[in-house]
Structure 1
Amino acid sequence: MMGFLLSLIIASFVGTIIWIVQTGVRPITQKVFSQTWHYYTGFIPVFFLLGGSAIINRLVPFIRSILPDTGTSPLAGEMREPFVHILPSEQAASHLTFFNQQFANLSRLENIQGIAATAILVWAVGTFVFLAVNVKNYRAFKRSILQNSRVCEMVNGPVKVIVSARATTPMLMGLWKPAVVLPDTPFGEKELAMILSHELVHLKRGDLLMKLIVLAANAVHWFNPAAYSLNKQLDMLCELSCDEKVVQDMDRESRRLYGETLLAMLEYGVTQRNVVCTSNFCNSKKNMKRRLLNLMNVKKTNKSMIMLSLVATISMAGIGGLVASAAESAVPDRAVPSKAVPPKIPTGKDPQGRNVYVQLEDGTVLYYDKNGNVSEVPEMRKSVSPPEYTTEELIDRIHLFIKDGVPVPPDYLDQLPQKDLDGINETYGLQLKRTESLTTEELVELMKKGIEEGTGVPQAYVNALPQNELDEINKIYGWELQKSN
């Protein structure tokens, strides 16, 4: 449940960020790109609202898995050593972000599963009500339009044309059996041709299906105001791009006549709201002004503009992918973590006894023998110490950790002579300290950080901390840290 709820929140967050970015750059892109480009790129946030974040975050590891391994990682050869300490994946490379910490705190709430179940129930009810209201409105609207309507026999085309006294604007209606609906008012031959051309463009492009997809995104994210704004924007962009398609080959006089047809429909009276599975030939006065201005400024598409629009589209999708990846990485384990499944560890050489141990994200430490079998599973929530190395081995390993951007285990620093530690600090401009140089406050802070971030607590910290402080940490976190001396 928690995993689904977090996925929903991430999808809503990512979709909203992309929509904000698109809205922010639109004053610039309107001067360069066509309305059709704006219409179709408007579905990028819709894609992420409907689960695109999860798709991308699963696609990236898959792509990485099929790419050849170059083996350039400085620690790639560590698995072939007689004894290896492997830090948890991802956590060793960077610290948790603020949002990561908040999600971690959230996952530790006592009633988190009950809260998640209640939230999902509220969301499901809201989604059902949203869809039910829209379906009811569509059915009522369709019955109203078809009441006292008649088929227009004078028009031959790929779809049926209906004349209805209750229609206030020409429209395309129906997803499975679409029909063009005309108001019961006289049209000139050219006006009728332009109206039918507009509605047939909707039909050819499948705009009613696209509107249904946007409605689905709005239903899933009914709690997000941005989803409603996105729905309205795409409805308007749909009409603008359709106008653009109809008039792109017209001369100035024909475009003027098309604009007059739009104005005539506005004067006739437009009261129809945005109804699913319908298109609107005519909109509100504010939107009609925008459509009329756009008619005379339809941009010609050339090869350079096509390439530029393609680059812009990929950039927007890339921004979405980056935001999705960042949002995903801020959530620890995507849910309340269960006990992690131990990985299979290749051990390479043929040493005796235990030669590899792995500290999992939940704090569990697993030991593996030379055959890759678990040889011992210590109790959880206890500090562990790495094996002892020679000074040369310690220096080599510390160099690797620093170059790879991985925090150096404090036990390594404690085993290293002070003069060699000073040399490393001078070489890399660092301030690495031995445990004995840390104050009690620093030790407490480091131990709390290790517990909360799941990276473990070095035994050296435990031994150096006063007993009363250690008892307090065990009491707060429910751990069983004990001094070894």
Structure 2
Amino acid sequence: MGILKTVSSMSIIGSILFLIFQIIKPLTKKNFNASWYYRVSIIILIFFILPIGSFISFPRISNDFVTEVSQIDIGKIGDSEIGTKVEDMDHIPDTRDTDENFVQEDYKYKMQSEKSPIVETKENNHIKKYFDNYSYEDIILYIWLIGMIILFLSKIIPYIKFKSTVLKNSIKVEDIEILELFNQCKNELNINSNIKLKYCQYIGSPMLIGIFNPMILIPNTNEDKNSLKMIFLHELNHYKRKDIIIKAFGFFVNIIHWFNPIVYLLLRDMDNYCECSIDEKVVKEMKIEDRKYTLTTAMSSSGEELKSRLENMLFFKKEFQEKDYYFSICNNFNNIFWIYYSLQYYAS
């Protein structure tokens, strides 16, 4: 049951931090960009697997100490009552007779016969309660494990099938001009890794797949040069920032906390912040006229997400200077850490 207690504690604290983050979002929306929200979301995600309460203990009153104090108080009360009863019986004359021993033996027999069923019943109830709790804890543990297995298989099997289909139907880009543009974008971002570029007609939008063998897939090669450049910069920035590893980490957290709807909301927001923050990086040095070419990278979105991404690309907020930015992050992390600390203490 220890692991379930740890998981539930992390889930509760992480959820509280997420809700606090949502509450203060209207206050920070005017001053912070999507990159800041993305990084803070990652910090909150980390707290879902950070069992601080498991290796930091706070001073508490021991249960043994409470038991000893209770026993001492009960003993004092018992002694005082016995002393009072003895004093009250001092005025009664001694009326012993020859049947005294017989009466005492008979009394002892009756007391033992009345006491033994009570003791036996208490012991049986204790054993029954122990096994009932043990079965209850086992059921919860098995449900949690089964839920993790089901979610893992429901996510990983479609991904494997999708990746296998994409790889079988993808074609290596051999157009010299496109490859030169792709290498130019890699040089702009100081990327020296071997990243493959392939064309696949079965996908609806450009994407980056593969952690160990990264590959960028594009749905067609008929885009104009400016649009292709924005697409390449967008996906290469994903690679440079290791977003695919962060998504794998989010998947791991989701598997552990499959029962918590807050995790699904957090991961959904993280995906949106991730795309918007990359859009910010791509258009950071562009004029508004040039930013219009970046709209093709957002066309795979829909509804409010599309509207948010388009507005973000056209009117994004510039980032703080590196020094001020990390000072702000550290300060927020410190505040979140102590909130977590306090909640963990009172929850225990």
How many angstroms does 1:132 deviate by?
A: 1.3
Corresponding residue of 1:4? 3
Amino acid at match of 1:224: N
Q: Show the counterpart of 2:121.
A: none
Verify: 1:117 aligned to 2:138, yes or no: yes
Q: Give the structure 2 partner of residue 131 of structure 1.
A: 152
Tell me, what secondary structure is at the counterpart of 2:281? helix
Shift of 1:3: 1.6
The offset of 1:250, in angstroms, is 1.2
Which residue does 1:55 correspond to in 2?
52
Structure with more relative contact order (C-alpha pairs < 8 Å, separation 6 or more): 2
Structure-2 change in CA distance of 1:317 and 1:297 (3 Å) = farther
CA distance in 1, matches of 2:327, 2:135: 46
User: Which of residues 205, 209, 232 is equivalent to 1:196?
Assistant: 232
1:46-445 equivalence runs, <5 A = 46-50=45-49, 52=50, 54-55=51-52, 58=55, 88=62, 110=130, 111-154=132-175, 155=179, 156-157=182-183, 158-184=194-220, 186-259=222-295, 261-262=296-297, 266=299, 282-303=300-321, 307=324, 310-311=327-328, 313-331=330-348
Secondary structure at 1:132's aligned position in 2?
Answer: helix
Return the alpha-carbon distance in structure 2 between the equivalents of residues 224 and 188 of structure 1: 45
Cα offset, 1:193, TM superposition: 0.7
1:299 alignment partner, SS class: coil
Structure 1 residue 306, shift from structure 2 partner: 5.2
Find the aligned partners of 1:299 and 1:313 in 2 and give their Cα distance: 21
Aligned twin of 2:86: none
| CA distance, structure 2, for counterparts of residue 219 and residue 324 of structure 1 | 25
Paired residues, what number?
270
Query: How high is the TM-score relative to the length of structure 2?
Result: 0.71
Map Cα deviations across residues 137-187 of structure 1 (whole Å, 9 max, x no partner). Answer: 111111222233200123254411110010100010111111000003511
SS in 2 for 1:180: strand
Distance 1:179 1:235 in 2: 19
1:121 deviates by: 1.1
CA distance in 1, matches of 2:282, 2:129: 58
Stretches of structure 1 lacking an aligned partner (at least 5 in a row):
65-85, 93-107, 267-281, 332-485
Report if the CA contact (8 A) 1:18-1:320 is conserved.
no
Kindly state the Cα deviation for residue 129 of structure 1 after the two structures are TM-superposed.
Answer: 1.3
Partner of 1:475: none
How far is 1:220 from its partner? 0.4
CA distance in 2, matches of 1:234, 1:19: 12
C-alpha displacement of 1:295: 1.0
What SS does the aligned partner of 1:42 have?
A: helix
Deviations 1:353-388 (A, max 9, x none): xxxxxxxxxxxxxxxxxxxxxxxxxxxxxxxxxxxx
Closer/same/farther in 2, CA of residues 22 and 188 from structure 1, 3 Å limit: same
* Alpha-carbon shift at residue 8 of structure 1 (Å): 1.0
- CA shift for structure 1 position 195: 0.2
* AA aligned opposite 2:4: L
Q: How many angstroms apart in 2 are the aligned matches of 1:190 and 1:56?
A: 52
Instruction: Report the CA distance between 1:309 and its aligned residue.
Output: 6.4
Change (3 A) 1:212 1:317: farther
Name the residue aligned to 1:394: none
Per-residue Cα deviation, 1:436-473 (whole angstroms, up to 9, x for no partner): xxxxxxxxxxxxxxxxxxxxxxxxxxxxxxxxxxxxxx
Q: 1:312 to 1:29 in 2, by over 3 A?
A: farther
How far off is 1:313 after superposition?
A: 5.0
Asked which structure has the greater CA Rg, the reply is: 2
Task: State the match for 2:31 in structure 1.
Answer: 32
Aligned to 1:393: none
| Rounded Cα–Cα distance in structure 2 between residues aligned with 1:256 and 1:262 | 11
Contact 2:230 2:297 in 1 (8 A): no
Q: For the Cα contact (< 8 Å) 2:151–2:258, is it kept in 1?
A: yes
Measured against aligned partners, the alpha-carbon deviations of 1:109-156 in whole angstroms (never above 9, x if no partner) come to 642222112111110111111111111011111122223320012325
Deviations 1:300-332 (A, max 9, x none): 2344x853663355335533443344234433x
TM-score normalised per structure 1: 0.52
Give the Å deviation of 1:30.
1.8
- CA apart distance, 1:60: 7.8
Superimposed CA distance per residue, residues 63-122 of structure 1 (whole angstroms, 9 cap, x where no aligned partner) = x9xxxxxxxxxxxxxxxxxxxxx9649x99xxxxxxxxxxxxxxx964222211211111
Structure 2: segments with no counterpart, 5+ residues: 67-127, 184-193
Instruction: Describe the shift of the 1:252–1:284 C-alpha distance in structure 2 as closer, same or farther (beyond 3 A).
Output: same
Change (3 A) 1:307 1:57: farther
Is contact 1:147-1:164 (8 Å) kept?
no
Which secondary structure state, in structure 1, belongs to the residue aligned with residue 286 of structure 2? coil
**Contact in 2 for aligned 1:152/1:162 (Cα 8 Å):** yes
